[in-house]
Amino acid sequence: MSASSHEIPSVSGTLESFMTLEQFIIDHQEESQHSTGAFSRLIRDISVAAKIINRNIRRAGLLDVFGASGEINVQGEVQKKLDVIADEEIVRALRKGGECRLIGSEEQSETMSIGDDQASVGRYAVYFDPLDGSSNTDVNASVGSIFSIYHLGARNERSSTLEEVLQPGSKQVAAGYVAYGSSTMFVYTTGDGVNGFTLDPEIGEFVLSHPDIRIPDQAKMYSINEADFDDFSAGVRRYLRWLKRPDEHGYRPIRHRYIGAFVSDFHRNLITGGIYMYPKTATSPEGKLRLMYEANPLAFIVEQAGGAASDGKRRILDIVPDDLHQRTPVFIGNTDLVQELERQLEASVEAA
C-alpha cells in the first residue's frame, strides 16, 4: 500500500472551499434580513455551547469512572446528568452572548428572561432541547441538541408579550440541531436552505461539509417505535402496512431504522430520504415530542430541505402553541410520504 493511500482527505476539499460556520454566517449576513451581526453572534454562542456539550458527551462513558468515589468530580462538584450539563452550557452561552432575551428549555418548567442586568437588551427568544435522546448516552449511541429562534419586538423592550413568547413555528427566524454521532454536525436554516457543518476536532471548528441539503426524492427509511404498534390508531397501522407493501415502481417497501433519538433519526432520514413518525398512543394521547423545541425546529429544516412536517392533519409550523412544553404528534420527512399519511388518516376518519 502506498503512503498516499493513508492520507486523510480534508473535510471540504480545496482550501478555497474551506468554510467555517462563523465565516459562513458572516458571508450570508447581507443576504438574510435576520442575519445581522447580533444574529451571527447568537448562532456563534450556540455553536460554542455545542462544542462544550460535545466534549462532555465524548467523555460520557468516563463520567461514572471519574464520579465513582462519592459522585464528586475533580472540580469538587456533584456529578450531573448530561441533560443538566447541556442545559447549563446553552444557558451560560446565551447569557454571556447578550443577544437573547428569552429562553425556553426542556429542562426548565418556565421560560426564563435573561439579560435584565445588561445595558442593551437582546432581541431573540431561543427554545431548545439541550440533549435529545439522552438515554442513548448510556449505550454509546447518537444524541443531539435542538434549537429554535424567534425574533422579539423592538430593542430596549425588556418584557415580552405572551404572543411573542408563543409564536407559531412559521415565525421562526432560524432553527437548527447538533447531531453528536460518529462525527458531530451542526445543521441549521435561516429560511434560505439548509446547511450542515462537521466539527473538525483538530481545529475545533465547524466546517461546511453539507451545503444546501435537500431531502432525496426517493425515500429509503421509515422510523417509528413499532413496539407501540397496537397502541397506534387504525389509520397509522394501515399506513405502516402500506410502507412495507411492495409497489409496482419498486419504491416500496422502504427500510425501517429507529435510533430512539429524534435528531439522529431525523438527520439520517434527511440525508437518505424517509419519514420519522411519533404518533399519539393510548399512553401519550398528545404524542410524546414537544412542539416548540423538537417538532418546530426540525419542521422548519425539513421544509427548507424540500420535505414536509404534519401532526397528521395540520402543517406543524401552523400550530399556534399555548404552552412551552406542549406535545404534538409528528410525521416528518419526504413530502409525498407525509401527504400520503395525511390522506390515509383522513380516509380512516380519525386523528393520528
Residues that bind Mn ion (CB under 5 A): 106, 129, 131-132
Report whether 313 belongs to an annotated binding site.
Answer: no
CA–CA dist 57, 143 (Å, integer):
9
225 binds, among Mn ion, ligand AHG, none (CB under 5 to 8 A by kind): ligand AHG
Minimum distance, C-beta of residue 68 to Mn ion, in the bound complex (Å):
25
With a CB cutoff of 8 Å and minimum separation 6, the contacts of 54 are 178, 180, 184, 199
Minimum distance, C-beta of residue 334 to ligand AHG, in the bound complex (Å):
18
Nearer to ligand AHG, 18 or 258 (CB): 258
Q: Which of 75, 87, 79 is closest to 60 using CA atoms?
A: 79
Q: How many Å separate Cα 8 from the centre of its chain?
A: 29
288 binds, among ligand AHG, Mn ion, none (CB under 5 to 8 A by kind): ligand AHG
Report whether 40 belongs to an annotated binding site.
Answer: no
261 binds, among Mn ion, ligand AHG, none (CB under 5 to 8 A by kind): ligand AHG
Minimum distance, C-beta of residue 144 to ligand AHG, in the bound complex (Å):
8
Task: Give 220-249 as a DSSP string.
Answer: -EEE--GGGGGGS-HHHHHHHHHHHS--TT
**Is residue 6 classed exposed, middle or buried when 0-12, 13-18 and 19+ CB atoms within 10 A define those classes?**
exposed
Report whether 77 belongs to an annotated binding site.
Answer: no
Nearer to Mn ion, 91 or 131 (CB): 131
149 binds, among ligand AHG, Mn ion, none (CB under 5 to 8 A by kind): none
Report whether 318 belongs to an annotated binding site.
Answer: no
Report whether 286 belongs to an annotated binding site.
Answer: no
Minimum distance, C-beta of residue 186 to ligand AHG, in the bound complex (Å):
18
Report whether 134 belongs to an annotated binding site.
Answer: yes
260 binds, among ligand AHG, Mn ion, none (CB under 5 to 8 A by kind): ligand AHG
Q: Find where cell 421544509 sits.
A: 303
Q: Which residue is nearest to ligand AHG (CB)?
A: 225
Report whether 129 belongs to an annotated binding site.
Answer: yes
Residue pair 266/294 in contact by the 8 Å Cβ criterion: no
Minimum distance, C-beta of residue 152 to ligand AHG, in the bound complex (Å):
25
CA–CA dist 65, 60 (Å, integer):
10
Minimum distance, C-beta of residue 260 to ligand AHG, in the bound complex (Å):
5
C-alpha atoms less than 13 angstroms from C-alpha of 223 in its C-beta half-sphere: 27
Query: 296-304 and 262-272 helices cross at what angle (nearest 10)?
Result: 10
Report whether 288 belongs to an annotated binding site.
Answer: yes
For residue 116, give the amino acid letter.
D
Binding site for ligand AHG (CB under 6 A): 106, 129, 132-134, 225, 260-262, 288
Nearer to Mn ion, 106 or 265 (CB): 106
Specify the DSSP element, H or E, that contains 147. strand 143-151
CB atoms within 10 A of CB 350: 12
User: Known binding site for Mg(2+): residues?
Assistant: 106, 129, 131-132, 294
User: Known binding site for substrate: residues?
Assistant: 132-135, 225, 258, 288
